Structure 1
């Protein structure tokens, strides 16, 4: 588990809400999942959603663990997206030549229109 406590921004009596920060850390999730998988190291864990996974009894902890492992992939995608958005914001703030980017986009659009017309 992680050392940091998440502070909820919602009262306990209201729906799902959101945490104070939505920044995710794949590494923290990976460490947690790896520790859990290590506890069942000589056990077959089918990919979530596969026929072998569907055949597991719903009470089998391997079924839930397989879903958790698949969820780790989602966390990685979210983290990468956050990093890309942060980099894009830095690029914009850094004063990239957006006029040239717009001209390039317009030229490409015009070329596509010419190709469609012919």
Structure 2
């Protein structure tokens, strides 16, 4: 388990480099979780290869999702003058500001 101070960035290439030699040895395997995979003996290397391939696919999905989120964050950052918006909020709403009626509250 990782603590809150470690990076959670997923590097698909590192996972791929780790599992690729193991997958090459096996050659082919059914997709993890399918009936064909379930029928494999637990000691069959193809069963483990399928799980490693699924892990590699999951790492790729997470890697691309993280890249997409980073890009979206940059796009949002450039979309407006957020300092000016914060200042406008902090300084009140100008003529549109309606003070709270303290008698009701």
TM over 0.5: yes
Runs of 4+ in 1 over 4 A off after TM superposition: none
Query: 1:40: which partner in 2?
Result: 26
Of 84, 87, 104, which aligns to 2:68? Answer: 84
Query: Taking structure 2 as the reference length, what is the TM-score of the superposition?
Result: 0.66
Whether the 8 Å contact between 2:32 and 2:50 is mirrored in structure 1 is: yes
String of CA shifts for 1:45-64, please: whole Å, max 9, x gaps: 11111111111112223212
Query: Taking structure 1 as the reference length, what is the TM-score of the superposition?
Result: 0.59
Shift of 1:40: 2.5
Query: 1:21: which partner in 2?
Result: 7
User: Is 1:56 equivalent to 2:56 in the alignment?
Assistant: no
Whether the 8 Å contact between 2:32 and 2:47 is mirrored in structure 1 is: yes
Task: Name stretches of at least 5 consecutive residues in structure 1 with no aligned partner.
Answer: 1-15, 98-118
Aligned length: 82
Q: Distance in 2 between matches of 1:81 and 1:72?
A: 14
Shift of 1:35: 1.2
Larger radius of gyration: 2
Q: Distance in 2 between matches of 1:33 and 1:17?
A: 22
Task: Name stretches of at least 5 consecutive residues in structure 2 with no aligned partner.
Answer: 82-105
String of CA shifts for 1:2-25, please: whole Å, max 9, x gaps: xxxxxxxxxxxxxx3347111011
| Higher relative contact order (CA closer than 8 Å, sequence separation 6+) | 2
CA RMSD of aligned residues (A): 2.4
Query: 2:54: which partner in 1?
Result: 70
